[in-house]
Structure 1
């Protein structure tokens, strides 16, 4: 009757059917995003078509377009979805050394590891493509800024509060991040371990000199 409220509405609880639909929607979106990252890594930006992603995800074209109406929106969301999830996971269960110098070394090793993961190379595909694609660049930029705000606290957790309160930590973190990213990009054509290892050791030395001064 008009003016009456259902028990679910009165209690603030959602009906079970509505919760089930929402859960399925989230599952479908996650499946599409995971498939998009896989296709992006396997086939690159040029080969990551919506048809290929649809087949990989095992969904209908209508369902894919319902959740992600454009290819670039989907690919951008996919890369950011994976990156934010993986950075949050990394280091969560790690036992960090109590000694500050050892903690710095372990944190930089963990940072370097993030640039070997699939989400980094998926994002790289998008960055390169965005140089000549205005629509992709417009889709990519806001999410990249949001992602940076998520990644920074995750990286700070690698170092811990005793080190992150140092006056120069923010500047150091940006130097470490951009330097490791640049080093990782060179492995696309020079996969040798030796130059990468030397670079990581240099960054450890730099970080210890700054944070333990």
Structure 2
């Protein structure tokens, strides 16, 4: 039997969920547009349309807020990556299509926001304690995805290093893209690397 309190609690829980989502989305937007130093809890609460008190209740510190925001969108991006993987073509263009999916991931706003956290964590010990394990998990998950999508047998000597080199490559291309639109050069590099992978992994 549903009580009056139970009936009231569902809308409140939904309002709380939506409010947290607005805060997290606003935080990532601020990180991308203003960087870590330019992102403040006050600015985020204003942008999200959430009271300062409500924001502090859920995320007491700036570090709590930005780490939760990047984790939130990374999980969202993982869902999008899985959907993109399902649409990958078979045949001769498969490897190149996998590289495009990975490159798009590292050219996304999520990567730009995460990059702001990495730079800040380098000199912020409290932030590093939180960010480092999270980034290690993301790295492992991305590596596993790349192995699956490329159909790599990592028991073959050298194959694991090729996958890691691929991720280092697309990460570097994503980093270059944060400064200027690097699309044309990136496409040429991905074309050539697809040829390398198909030869080395065959």
Question: Smaller-chain TM-score range?
Answer: 0.7 to 0.9
Whether 1:75 and 2:69 are equivalent positions in the alignment is no
Contact 1:87 1:114 in 2 (8 A): no
- Paired residues, number: 198
- Structure 1 residues 27 and 157, CA gap change in structure 2 (3 angstroms): farther
Distance 1:98 1:140 in 2: 37
Deviations 1:35-62 (A, max 9, x none): 1001111111111000000001111111
1:140-155 to structure 2, matched below 5 A, reads 140-155=131-146
- Structure 1 residues 87 and 103, CA gap change in structure 2 (3 angstroms): same
Name the SS for the 1:90 alignment partner.
Answer: helix
1:187 aligned residue: 177
Gaps of 5+ in 1: 1-6
1:54-203 to structure 2, matched below 5 A, reads 54-92=45-83, 95-99=87-91, 101-156=92-147, 158-159=149-150, 163-165=151-153, 167-168=155-156, 170-203=160-193
Gaps of 5+ in 2: none
- Structure 1 residues 186 and 126, CA gap change in structure 2 (3 angstroms): same
Q: TM-score, normalised by structure 1?
A: 0.81
Distance 1:151 1:8 in 2: 43
Bigger-Rg structure (1/2): 1
Distance 1:144 1:110 in 2: 19
Structure 1 runs (4+) deviating above 6 angstroms are: none
Tell me how far 1:208 sits from its aligned partner.
0.7
Whether 1:31 and 2:22 are equivalent positions in the alignment is yes
Q: What RMSD over aligned residues (CA atoms) do the two structures have, in Å? A: 2.5
